[in-house]
Structure 1
Amino acid sequence: MSHRAFLSAGAVALSILAFPVASHADDPALTQAVHAPTRSPKLVDRDGARHPVAELSFFGITPSSTVVEIWPGGGYWTQILAPYLHDHGTYDLALGQPDGTPIEREFGLSPKLKAMLDGAPAVYDHVHLTAFGLHHPAPAPAGSADFVLTFRNLHNWMSEGDAQTLLRGIHHALKPHGILGIEDHRGNTRAPQDPKAADGYVRQDYAIRMIEKAGFRLVGTSEINANPRDTANWPKGVWTLPPSLALGDKDRAKYQAIGEADNFVLKFEKVGR
């Protein structure tokens, strides 16, 4: 039986917070951005697992929002958010810096990301680059962002032991009642949480407590990216599964059939100043 069948009563209760998700027709600008010709075909192939229209609609972003994305990695969301916010919104990419921890440096401005931004100036010319990490915990000026989004990064912050510092920096950057949208790999509720999240998985209940401790209030959960085939127990952690496939050709078909990890999607509101 899947680990999802063993969700705690508290986690089940949280499901009632799930918000209705807008359809494609509700925001044609978002649908247009998802179909932007500048998107990488390799990243477009992941839309079936990542559900970009549904997820961004769940968070409530509009074309005029001020959005900060934390550590964009390969630019999956950048390729959607940049054209979506180009004309009327503000879009900051908060990057790790050379003076940071090893994981922060990994999420800096990579040659690949730089080439992507430089290669389509008509799309990316309004993207602002900012710093985010232990030495730069506020990714934007105080009270300036409508939304801060981070996708599959909480486990990285836990691995360095600085999650609370970074979450409080995000809180500082958000406007009153601003929204933190967060996605990460959902851990097994039957297993204790490793505080360092070495396998890349974070229990949803653990994540909620951690984020609320930093001054946020949970206002919605979504099963957009749920995958009951993921047991959260693999030889190389979450990186055993696509897209990493850390075992190479070993059991490749098996892991491809499982698909990308089971991911929680959570929406928090900033509480206080």
Structure 2
Amino acid sequence: MSRVSILALALGLAASSLALTASAATPSANTPSAAITAAIADVNRPQADRDRDGDRKPAEMLAFAGVKPGDKVVDFMPGAGYFTRLFAKAVGPKGRVYTLLPGELATRSQKAVDGQKALAQDKAYGNIVPLVQPVNAPVFPEKVDVVWTSQNYHDLHDAFLGPADVAAVNKAIFDALKPGGVYIVLDHAGDKGSGLRDTETLHRIDPETVKKEVEAAGFVLDGEDDALRNSADNHSLKVFDPSLRGHTDQFVFKFRKPK
């Protein structure tokens, strides 16, 4: 081999080594930040929440959503507050977390109202603000960075909320976000092509239906996360079935409001 060839080979190997080193040093988009890691390690989180971390993968979910210190986040239909507490710690004292409870649900479920109030009054989380608003026309105190809804989008289509005017809901969320803000929809997957068939019976929804509805409000699909997918779930059982609960096949979409 000539001296020129040896030199070229050496330069090529050096360049490859530098590229691999740079790749290893650069975190991926879904690498949890220090703020997210600290939020998950928060000693104030209920043990019941900690016990679900293996199934719900909170570090990856918050990283996928891009939640960071100082953000304003809306937790739409927060349930028992599993993600609410994580958001509160991840955004820190300069951030804000709004729990949005539809008024239609609040009038029927005192448990939901009491749970939301308890979150806001917990001294360990001083940046949570409860909101009770009409589902079709929610009003927000300010523009926000992230709107999150977990395992509830399908409920917009059944008697649980009326059903709601889904186009109006998505448009209200679009308007509430800052330009470049994101809308995260995590829900139980239904069969491909099933549309809205199983929203009330099995509490599932066809992922493609969600895409079409949300994009119709002006959003652009900006990513999907497969961390919660489960190929062993054949979509035939209700999500509350004891053999499947907590392990359903779930999709996670990130929609972005164009700048």
Q: TM-score with structure 1 length normalisation? A: 0.76
1:200 offset after TM fit, Å? 1.0
Structure 2 counterparts to residues 27-42 of structure 1, below 5 A: 27-42=33-48
Which 10-residue stretch deviates more, 78-87 or 106-115? Answer: 106-115
5 Å matches for 1:2-13? none
Check the 8 A contact 2:198/2:204 in 1, yes or no: no
**Contact conserved, 1:216 with 1:269, CA < 8 A, in 2?**
yes
Match in the other structure for 1:85 = 91
Cα separation, partners in 2 of 1:195 and 1:138, compared to 1, 3 Å:
farther
Partner residue in 2 for 1:179:
182
- Calculate the TM-score normalised by the size of structure 2: 0.79
Query: Cα gap change, 1:230/1:196 in structure 2, threshold over 3 Å: closer, same or farther?
Result: closer
Residue 59 of structure 2 corresponds to which residue in structure 1?
A: 53
Give the structure 2 partner of residue 165 of structure 1. Answer: 168
Change (3 A) 1:40 1:49: same
1:219 maps onto 2:219 in alignment? no
Residues 218, 257 of structure 2: 8 Å contact kept: yes
Q: CA deviation at 1:106?
A: 3.9
Cα deviations by residue, 1:60-107 (Å, 9 ceiling, x for unpaired): 11111111111101110012111222322121111122xx2x587449
Taking the aligned partners of 1:107 and 1:168, their CA distance within structure 2 comes to 28
8 A contact 1:161–1:196 mirrored in 2: no
Greater relative contact order: 1 or 2 (C-alpha under 8 angstroms, separation 6 or more)?
1
Q: How far 1:205 moved relative to its partner?
A: 1.0
Distance 1:89 1:197 in 2: 34
Match of 1:22 among 30, 40, 51: 30
Q: Distance in 1 between matches of 2:153 and 2:140?
A: 18
Task: Count the aligned residue pairs.
Answer: 227
> Which residue of 1 is the match for residue 239 of structure 2?
238
**Alpha carbons 1:158, 1:195 under 8 Å: kept:** no
Cα distance in 1 for partners of 2:224, 2:133 equals 25
- State the 1:192 CA deviation: 2.4
Q: CA RMSD in A?
A: 2.3
Letter in 1 for 2:130: L
Q: Take 1:186 and 1:138, find their aligned partners in 2: how far apart are those partners?
A: 26
> How far does residue 162 in structure 1 lie from its aligned partner after superposition?
2.1
Counterpart pick for 1:200 among 194, 199, 203:
203
Q: Give the percent of matched residue pairs that are identical in Structure 1 and Structure 2.
A: 26
Distance between the aligned counterparts of 1:187 and 1:169, measured in 2? 25
